[in-house]
Structure 1
Amino acid sequence: MPDISAHPLVPRPAQTVPGEGEGLTLTASTRMSADPEARGTLMWLQRELGAATGLPLASGDEASEIRLSVDPRAGLGREGYRLIVDGEGAIVVGTDPAGVFYGAQTLRQLLPAAAYRKAPLGQARWTLPAVRITDAPRFRWRGMMLDVARHFAPKREVMRCIDLMAMHKLNVLHLHLTDDQGWRIEIRRYPRLTEAASWRTQSQVGAGKPPVFDGRPHGGFYTQDDIREIVAYAAARHITVVPEIDVPGHTQAAIHAYPELGEAGQIPVGTQWGIFDEVLAVTDEALEFCRNVLDEVVELFPGPYVHVGGDECPKDQWRKSESAQRRIEEEGLADEDELQSWFVRRLGEHLASHGRRLVGWDEILEGGLAPGATVMSWRGEEGGIAAARAGHDVVMSPTATSYLDYRQSDAEDEPVKVGTLLRPEDVYLAEPVPQGLTEEEAEHVLGAQVNVWTEHIDTPRRLDYMLFPRLSAFAEKVWSSGPRDYAEFEPRLRGHLARLDAAGVEYRPLEGPRPWHTRPGVQGWG
């Protein structure tokens, strides 16, 4: 009987039963086939394994050694799959095309770690152990937010993140596209958003006071064709891209491009990190701007959700603004909190007219929330609990267990220590569904998400360091059902690191940072 423990699977499948015999060895004569609905996965598997092994893995017929198929009657659940390997071949059956893709991801993990390289090393024996695996995800929303506004990530890096997410069976990429420090998406109707608002004159280094700056311009944006390419690349890997256009706060860059949108006239694109008073006005002109931007956003992102932010919106400018106070009076609103709710509701109605659902950070609950809106709970669990009890769908993303820019140890050599301590075990053991919800209320918890804010993450190497191995721990938490024991998980995680090595991921070693990971003299916070 084969030793399946030699192939540490992450995330852990629901059921793994070792088979008899030696399994299937891939050779130059191995063929692959797929039914029409699974052909996308077939092409992906041939490309990835072909590059790593150097084998042709040509397409064949129903007698092929590796066969992929979609069977809605398989009884495996949404995104579920069954993988059977024996001496005759390997079969992957999925309830839907996504299930087949996830089964193929598991098949790849059953091979040596070199299966994640881009060219053959020449010495590996490519044997799949005999096994029967049945699996399906716990949550439908298994997400990661990537902040490309604070530090821009070139398209190739976004697509690399998509590949690493797919490797871990994550299925939602939330792109934080706009903030005080930069606007990252081309909007045809408003060209100055990319001409002027997509770059800043310099960036704050660390979080010291008084602030220290690097003196280097920083910028970048995605053209609409770039966005289409990213969305299509993600869709081929069964990942939905959720765009975020953050309003009415965190809008300093947009106001820089079009000062009439704000309350303070001409202002620069932000160069510091934090929360700032500059917010959108609540005029008809500002609302029209948001609607026009969203019209182009929904053209580019076909998924059901559009995120409008709604977080950290100071009210001081509105309290002093004649137009804001007039709006409160005209609409019969109680205060500035209800004014923000009124603003967000208008955007929700507009998105609903396009057949889309609004998502916002949990501040959108303040002042009342329109039916159909989805709440992303980040300030602890309280917002998620309140939203679920009010009948709103929820994505859990509390800072203490979900912010992957937070420090990974309290050691002095940990680079740019911010926030509170968040180790892989803390991510792994945190329960996404808050205690105290009824069974009916808990059904509103779509899943969970980790967030990667990039104020202090300005290169792909630093992004790798902050993401991994914590993203691997998160992936198992949101995919796998049943009890979680970090003592059982850690040996599998250590084995999984060999795959990350082969894929070229510069993760943080579990023992601590390497010398080149450190950033001496750069002050954090927390």
Structure 2
Amino acid sequence: MPDPISLVPLPRSVTWSSGSWRTDDPWGGLSVGVSEELPRTEYALSITPQGAHLTAGSEAALADGRNTFAQIVSDAAGEIPCVTISDAPRYAWRGLHLDVARHFFAIADLETMIDAMALHRLNVLHLHLTDDQGWRIEIKGYPRLTEIGAWRDRTVIGIYRPEGEHEFDDERHGGSYTQDELRGLVEYAQRRGILIVPEVDLPGHMQAAVASYPELGSDPSRQVGVREVWGISDHVLGVSDEAFAFVRDVLTQVADIFPGPYVHIGGDECPRTEWEQSPAARARMNEWGLTRVSEIQGRFTDFAADVLREQGKRIIGWDEVLESHLPDDTIVMNWRRDEGVEESTSRGFPTVVATERFLYFDHAQAKGHEEPIAIPGGITTLEDVFTGRLVPKKLTEEQEALILGIQGQLWTEYIPDAASLQYMALPRLCALAERAWGSPEQSWAEFRERLAAHLPRLEALGIGFRPLD
């Protein structure tokens, strides 16, 4: 009889019985149904010698149950063990962020990551589509966004140091997705129970857009290129009517492509240098009745929220949005510090825990020259992801209820291709899945034992990973 510890994430309730079920078409023998008698997030899977039956409280829970069944089938050699599983996740948001702006990834590469997420019952793909180094989404009426903004002429080699001299590879890099390609990706993810949340980062991280349309910046007479180094650009959206019309057009089209209830508007790392030096910005501040330059970002946040609310969407922002006026229905994604979770929930904002300390998978996984180049700033090991404290102890029950879930981040400055992406994601993604699902308490040694049994499954599916130490 198979050992239940091989299942990832670990279900809350597993009962094994004698016997097995054999069929040449396992999926054809699975009966499914949605039942109002079950909680919306729960599913019940029963495999007996007579067949397999899956019942769930919603379509989303049904997808989780199908993924569990697929996992069992993938381990079977014709015979499938008899088992009853009753399961439900702790968190509604079990996410993975993927930055396609710094390095472009083909649709097939994204589909592979979606398959890996589905296997581990992660259910939100946060797709970072725009940044200083590349604009990846087709927007009708703005062709230069993908003709110019999607391409940079060269890329910095090695670790980026803001004050240092750098070498460049002199290779043109870029690419973009058509709206139809993204709609196809949405459908692919939906069939696997995964919601795609798009991100258009604004009003900062906009150099690729300003390079495409200088009139969107603070100085329309100044031509800049798509950023070729990492770090934070001073080139942000200006305060002109054209800039706000651009935001409306982009968000309206993004909302149409992605049918989910959320759109991420970034809001992080927005320098105020250009606004401070701009006569137009000072004039706008007088017009709007603002007294601090920092309040301009709040104006963009309010505007984006209004546009998306018209489309039936809610905004999500990185935790910097807490520093300016914030609409009441905003969802905050905490990344900078552990205490940020306490701040956002104490102010009544639903929060996704994405804190850099344990959930940034662009960090190196171990010390040593054999590891690929990674962003400076520390090491996040597999054990860190599994054992690190993600939620502050001192939250009240009301604050804990505002935590939607947790999310791992794959920023791709130092992740140039699909093989590198999978190496950096896995097996840390497995530990993330355990935490996000809320599997029963177990030791690090127990998890590592189960993980060792699980990794051959990834290999069989053609999904790469970093071998265990």
Is the TM value for this pair above 0.5?
Answer: yes
Residue aligning to 1:386: 343
C-alpha offsets along residues 350-385 of structure 1, whole Å, 9 cap, x if unaligned? Answer: 111211101111111112211101111010123332
Cα offsets for 1:238-286 (capped at 9, x unmatched) = 2111111111111000000100111242100010000121111122221
Distance 1:112 1:179 in 2: 38
- Quote the residue 2:328 is aligned against: 371
Matched residues in 1 for 2:7 and 2:157: separation?
A: 39
Answer whether contact 1:14 1:136 (CA < 8 A) is retained.
yes
* Contact 1:112 1:126 (C-alpha < 8 Å) held by counterparts: no
Would the aligned equivalents of 1:341 and 1:365 in 2 still touch at CA under 8 Å? Answer: no
Query: Aligned partners of 2:193, 2:204: CA distance in 1, in Å?
Result: 32
Q: Does 1:440 align with 2:402?
A: no
Once the two structures are TM-superposed, the CA of residue 416 in structure 1 deviates from its matched residue by 0.6
Q: Is residue 71 of structure 1 aligned with residue 69 of structure 2?
A: no
1:206 shift after superposition: 2.0
SS state of the match for residue 406, structure 2? strand
Map residues 122-201 of structure 1 onto 2, 5 A cutoff.
125-201=77-153
Please provide the CA RMSD for this pair.
Answer: 1.6
Tell me by how many angstroms 1:98 deviates: 2.3
Could you tell me how far 1:436 is from its partner in structure 2?
A: 1.7
- Alpha-carbon distance in 1 for matches of 2:13, 2:335: 33
Residue deviations 1:197-244 (CA, integer Å, cap 9, x gap): 110101112215422211100010000110110111111112111111
- Listed as ranges, the matches of 1:246-265 within 5 Å are 246-264=201-219, 265=222
Are 1:297 and 2:261 an aligned pair?
no
1:493 aligned to which of 440, 444, 451: 451
1:26 aligned residue: 23
Q: Which amino acid aligns with 1:141?
A: W
CA distance in 1, matches of 2:153, 2:280: 31
Tell me the distance in 2 between the aligned counterparts of 1:288 and 1:506.
Answer: 43
For the structure 1 residues 308 and 416, does the alpha-carbon distance in structure 2 shift closer, same or farther, using more than 3 Å as the test? same
> Aligned equivalents of 2:124 and 2:62: distance in 1?
17
Q: Distance in 2 between matches of 1:25 and 1:160?
A: 29
CA separation in 2, counterparts of 1:78 and 1:202? Answer: 49
What is the distance in 2 between the residues matched to 1:332 and 1:468?
50
Give, in whole Å, the separation in 2 of the partners of 1:397 and 1:409.
Answer: 21
Cα deviations by residue, 1:23-44 (Å, 9 ceiling, x for unpaired): 21224xx5x6xxxxxxxxxxxx
Q: 2:311 aligns with which of 348, 354, 376?
A: 354
Identity of aligned residues (%): 43
Map 1:108-507 to 2 at 5 A. Answer: 108-111=70-73, 113=75, 125-208=77-160, 209-264=164-219, 265-418=222-375, 419-507=377-465
Task: State the SS of the aligned residue for 1:22.
Answer: strand
Q: Distance in 2 between matches of 1:103 and 1:299?
A: 29
| Cα drift, residue 484 of structure 1 | 4.2
Distance 2:223 2:30 in 1: 62
Aligned-residue offset at 1:142: 0.6
Give the partner amino acid of 1:82: A
After superposing on structure 2, the runs of 4+ consecutive aligned residues of structure 1 that deviate more than 4 Å are none
Cα distance, 1:482 vs. partner? 3.8
Does structure 1 retain, via aligned residues, the 8 Å contact 2:386–2:435?
Answer: yes
* Unaligned stretches of 5+ residues in structure 2: none
User: TM-score scaled by structure 1?
Assistant: 0.85
Distance between the aligned counterparts of 2:54 and 2:268, measured in 1? 43
Q: Which runs of 5 or more structure 1 residues have no equivalent in the other structure?
A: 33-45, 47-56, 58-64, 116-124, 512-526
Cα offsets for 1:315-369 (capped at 9, x unmatched): 1111111111222222222312222112211111111121110111111111221
How far has the Cα of 1:438 moved from its partner? 0.9
1:80-95 superposed matches below 5 A: 80-95=42-57
Quote how far apart the aligned CAs of 1:432 are.
3.7
